[in-house]
Amino acid sequence: MRRLLALPLYLLLLSLSACALLPNRDPLNVNVVGFEPLPSQDMEVRFAVKIRVQNPNETAIDYNGLALDLEVNGQPLASGVSDQSGTIARFSDTVLTVPVSVSAFSVLRQTLGLSQTQTLNNVPYVLRGKLAGGLFGTLRFVDSGKLSLPGPNVPPR
């Protein structure tokens, strides 16, 4: 009977020691570097989000999938996935492109969220994502900042 009671304790200690064997990695540095329009369907807009992913670690990162969620002005706007795979070498970076979709309802929600006085400059965004890499290799990341959309060229007075 005592052995049956000790079994959960042994399993707990074993699982804790397994966590200690996982590699200690620094978080990825991710920045949005561009947007490109893509062919769209009736009630959606599609574009490619380009992100620069920097690996500040001593070991390469192998990935086999990528997912993104883009929030603008505190509201969900776009999401996308890609089954691309590759390796980001140690102390290196790469630019990844992920197609994302924006539904008409997301655009409507964003439009209603803008006040009459708010411009399209310095609109806050948050990009959340993950690089899939197997059971313990998935790496999550977050990038945030402000979007400034180019406006008409007005000559100085």
For residue 63, the tally of other CB atoms under 10 A from its CB is: 20
Overall fold of domain 25-144: Immunoglobulin-like (2.60.40)
Using a 10 angstrom Cβ sphere, with 0-12 exposed, 13-18 middle and 19 or more buried, the burial of residue 148 is exposed
Between CA 41 and CA 79, with CA 121 as vertex, the angle to 5 degrees is 35
154 pLDDT band, cuts 50/70/90, is very low
pTM over 0.75: no
Give percent helix, percent strand, percent coil of the chain, each to the nearest 5: 20, 50, 35
Residue 26 is given by DSSP the state P
Give the residue among 63, 47, 58, 74 at the shortest CA–CA distance from 129.
63
Q: Is the model's pLDDT at 41 over the cut of 80?
A: yes
User: What residue segments make up the domains of the chain, in order of their start?
Assistant: 25-144
- Rounded to an integer, what distance in angstroms lies between the CA atom of residue 65 and that of residue 136? 14
Mean pLDDT of 1-16: 64
| pLDDT single digits (tens) 104-120 | 767 666 666 665 446 56
